């Protein structure tokens, strides 16, 4: 099955740094979602995007729905240790009736 391409696959950053990650596809999506997964837990929804070009924030997190509708971006400002985890993007295509396609994940590790 199709999966979205996320990059980077993993990253080590220092506390206080800003983080950027992205998700790309060859297909057009109507909805983009960003999730965070902590070890031993289920993914938790962070941000949902519904319009091309839309920019949405949730605290220190900001996500954008790409103009081409084939990509999305997530930024985390001033990272803190609890930002550690795996970040997944997910997209919903037209005609798939609420089914999501998931990205491969970006593993974030924050050093003090």
Nearer to other proteins, 85 or 105 (CB): 105
* Residue that is written with structure tokens 């790409």 in the block: 66
Stretch of 12-20, 54-62, 74-82, 89-97 lying at the interface with other proteins (CB under 8 A):
89-97
Q: Does 92 bind other proteins (CB under 8 A)?
A: yes
Q: How far apart are alpha carbons 14 and 89 in whole angstroms?
A: 23
- Find the shortest distance in angstroms from Cβ 4 to other proteins: 9
Contact pick of 22, 31, 64, 72 for other proteins (by CB under 8 A): 31
Q: How far apart are alpha carbons 98 and 90 in whole angstroms?
A: 11
- Find the shortest distance in angstroms from Cβ 48 to other proteins: 5
Q: How far apart are alpha carbons 107 and 7 in whole angstroms?
A: 10
Burial of 60 (0-12, 13-18, 19+ CB in 10 A): middle
Q: Which residues bind other proteins (CB under 8 A)?
A: 1, 3, 30-31, 33, 35, 40-45, 48, 50, 88, 90, 92, 97-100, 102-105
């Amino acid at each position: 099955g199709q999966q979205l391409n996320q990059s980077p696959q993993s990253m080590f950053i220092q506390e206080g740094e800003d983080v950027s990650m992205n998700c790309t596809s060859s297909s057009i999506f109507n909805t983009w979602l960003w999730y965070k997964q902590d070890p031993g837990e289920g993914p938790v929804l962070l941000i949902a995007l519904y319009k091309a070009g839309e920019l949405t924030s949730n605290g220190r997190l900001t996500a954008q729905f790409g103009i081409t509708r084939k990509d999305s971006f997530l930024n985390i400002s001033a990272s803190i240790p609890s930002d550690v985890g795996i970040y997944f993007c997910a997209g919903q295509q037209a005609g798939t009736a609420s089914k999501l396609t998931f990205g491969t994940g970006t593993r974030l590790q924050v050093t003090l």
